[in-house]
Structure formats: structure tokens, C-alpha cells
Chain A
Amino acid sequence: MNDPDGDFFDGMIIETGEATPLTPHNQALILAGRELISESLSVGREFCKSMISISTGAIPIYLGILAFILPESYMLGISRGALIVLPVLLFLTAAAVFTYGYFPLTDSFSLDVIEEIEAVRGRVISRRTAAARWGFGLFLAASLLAALMLVANIGAR
């Protein structure tokens, strides 16, 4: 055991407690940490993959509902037409951003150098996180605008 007042190292005082076998709680925490690290890459990838389908799938749903509520011979002016098309463009942009996040990253690293693996992992995660955030923001904006357009045109038929 170290002396109770601790050891001095470069201005720091380090007091060591008793060494014990791992508690069940800490064993579970280590397992959870392992899962967090191993799943950190696939979670962002799967999110981007799902959101590509959702963003592109939202376009025909929006246009379908719009075609249902608008009269057949309804003439859209330029500004109204642009407003109605804007959610479609936003959904497409969101899908493009999610595709960027899903796109495979080309990088090279050595499995023997932990720092290189961590750096590549960090780059992949930060790219996917950025794509997921921007894409989701665009998707939310598109959804809100689409809902607004639909509500504004209810009763036009």
C-alpha cells in the first residue's frame, strides 16, 4: 500500500486506494462501453441509410396528397408553384446529404497502431454525425413546409 497521504509526482498528489476484483456493476459498464464503441460506426451508417429511403419516399407521398387535394385543372402561379416544389427539393437535398454520410470513406490505417485506428474512427464518426445532423435538419424543414403546403391547400378542390 502507498502511504496514506499519497505520492508526489510533478506537483500532483496521487493517493491510491485498495485494489479489488472488478465489481459486477463495473463489469457491466465495461461491456456497455465496448458495445458503444463497436456500434458507434454502424449506428450512424444505418441512420443515414434509413433516412435516404424515408427522404426519397416522402416525395411521392407529399405529391400524392397534393394531387388528391388540388383540383385537376388547377393552375399554379410561379411563386405558388415554387413554394409547392420547395419541400420536394428539400427532401431531395436531405437525401443527398444522407447519401454523403452513407458513402464509403476511403482511408488507410494500420491495425497495429491504435492511434491511427482511433483517428480514422473519429473521422468517420464526425463525417456521419455532420451528415446526419444537416440531413435531419433539411428533412425536418421539408416536412414542416410540406405540412404547411398541404394545410394551406386543403379545400382548394
Chain B
Amino acid sequence: MSKSPPQITVNPCPNCQGHHTFPLRIRRSPVMSLSGEANQPGPRKFTLLCTCPKTGQTFQTELTVTPPPSERIVSVEPDPAEEEDES
């Protein structure tokens, strides 16, 4: 299990056919079950808009995030402060 910041790799990019890595900013929140039963939130699907660092055009990619036990995913967005281009 990696402790590195979450990121996605887009390969190939639909705009430039290159290879980009986008660090993600994921907001999570703890979940408590009042009934005593395990009420584990399931995976959440997001459509993420990313901007190709070469062409500046926006494209979309789908990702599914499965939270750790007793947590839920609140939001996922690309972290523009840490964008990398590996193409």
C-alpha cells in the first residue's frame, strides 16, 4: 500500500497522445455507524476534467475511488499545484 499522494496516469492523452500524471486532491470524511452494523460506503465514480499540459485542452476521464473502511469519499479533483507532465 502506497503512502504517496494519490494520482492518476493518463496514457494516452486524447489530445496529444502523450503520457500525463495528475496528482489528485481527495477529500474524505470518517463514517460512523449508529446501528452497530458495518455501513461501509461503497466505491464512488467520478468524471474528472483534466487539462492537457501540452495543448491546454480539457478532456475527461472516469475514475472509481474505493474508500478505506469507515471512510467516505467527499470529492476528487485534480491538484493543479502539483501537476506533472511525463510525456
Contacts and interface: CB of A to CB of B under 8 A. Distances in A.
A18 B6 CA distance: 18
Interface residues of A, number: 22
A64 interface: no
Interface stretch (A5-13, A42-50, A75-83, A88-96): A5-13
A14 B61 contact: no
A14 B8 contact: yes
Contacts of B7: 9
Contact of B59 (A8, A11, A19): A19
Interface of A: 1-2, 6-23, 26, 30
Given A2-B8, A12-B66, A20-B61, 8 more contacts: A6-B64, A8-B1, A9-B6, A12-B67, A14-B66, A17-B62, A22-B58, A22-B60
Interface of B: 1-15, 24, 26, 28, 43, 47, 49-50, 58-69, 71, 73
List of 4 A-B pairs having minimum Cβ-Cβ separation, nearest first: A11-B68, A17-B62, A9-B6, A13-B66
